[in-house]
Each structure stands twice: as structure tokens, then as C-alpha cells.
Amino acid sequence: MSQTVCLALTGASGMPYGLRLLECLLAAGCRVQLLYSQAAQIVARQEMNFELPSRPAEARTALLARFNVAHPENLQVYGREEWFAPVASGSNPPDAMIVCPCTMGTLASIAQGLSDNLIERAADVVLKEGRKLVLVPRETPFSAIHLENMLRLSRAGAVILPPSPGFYQHPQSVQDIVDFVVARVLDQIGVGHTLMRRWGETD
């Protein structure tokens, strides 16, 4: 049975990771519930020259066209204040949630249980229901406040996965580096892929 995965895009640098994750999740047959912040729209334009519309229905249309999705019914997009979305309630949580890229502000809000918008509420639901939460914080260096928030979330069961690519694969392009990180995220939620050769494997 395919997984239901909530993917949240926030305003940190690293949108290539987030959109590649979306593409791979849909290609793997996952049902994806997509959330995104206003700042994520700015970053998508800046880093990928991609206009992510403010209206969820228009964003869904643009993303389906970008990725040529075989099963468009597997992608649902929700607004930041859409409190009747399934991810807002513990009665209908996703199997896993990924915040990629994850701003330090979003990470801090989740760590404090603020739930002031749908991204924060969905993460709160995933934690309290014992589902997998993966946060991909794109910031450097980390301050003591950042590290304390990450430790708090780790103790609560979240996975903190900074996008730190390995180079033993001898990457030949930026896409290879992106795929390395995306592969590690997919591994955390048990979604199969062929993005990279695993350590110890030979051709």
C-alpha cells in the first residue's frame, strides 16, 4: 500500500531539494499532501525560476504540469490556513511528514508546539500521533538556540536531517548533489528509489 506523505516547503534556501522530493514521491506512487509558506514562493522564484501560485488549486496545476505526473489524483495542495485539511487533525494523520527546506523559524515553532499555521499544526499532529517527522534545516552555522531546538525535536521523535551531501559518489552535477540528499530523506520514510548507488555497492 502506498504511503500518504505530507510535504511542507518553507522559506529556507534549498528549494531544489523540496521540489525534487515532490517529484520522487509522486513517481513512487505516494499520495502527497503539499503545504507551502509565502516565503517558499519567493525562494522557488529565486532559486528555480519557478512561480508557485498563491492559490492551492493553481499551484497544483502548475506542479502537475512541471512533473508530468502519471496519477494526478495523488497530489493534493492545501492553503496555509486551510484548517479542514486532513493533516490538521490527529484523526487523519499522514504516514509521514517532511519539511524541506525547513527554516529555523518553522523548526522553532514546531519545537515549541505553537501550531499557528497549517504547516506547524501538521507537524504537531505527526509528532503526537507517533508518525515519522523529517526536518531538513538549511542553515549554517547553527546557533545554540538552533541546536537546542533541534535537540528538543529529536527527543520528541523527529529526525533532523541537514542537507549535507557526501562526495564518495563523485557527483558530476548539482543534480547529483541534490539527489544524494533527497535519497537520504526518502530512506528515512521507507520510499524506494534509485537516485544513488549505496555504500559498498558496485555497478
Q: Where are the alpha helices (DSSP H) in 54-101?
A: 56-67
Query: How do residues 181-193 score in pLDDT, each as one tens digit?
Result: 999 999 999 999 9
> Which CATH number goes with the domain that contains 82?
3.40.50.1950
Q: Assign residue 14 a region (left: φ > 0; alpha: ψ between -120 and 50; beta: otherwise).
A: left
Say if 9 falls within a structural domain. Answer: yes
Say if 200 falls within a structural domain. Answer: no
Q: Which domain holds residue 144?
A: 4-188
**Contact predicate 134/188, CB 8 Å:** yes
Number of domains observed in the structure of the chain: 1
Q: What is the pTM of this model?
A: 0.96
Higher-pLDDT residue of 198, 119: 119
Say if 137 falls within a structural domain. Answer: yes
Mean pLDDT of 28-45: 98
Query: How do residues 67-103 score in pLDDT, each as one tens digit?
Result: 989 999 999 999 999 999 999 999 999 999 999 999 9
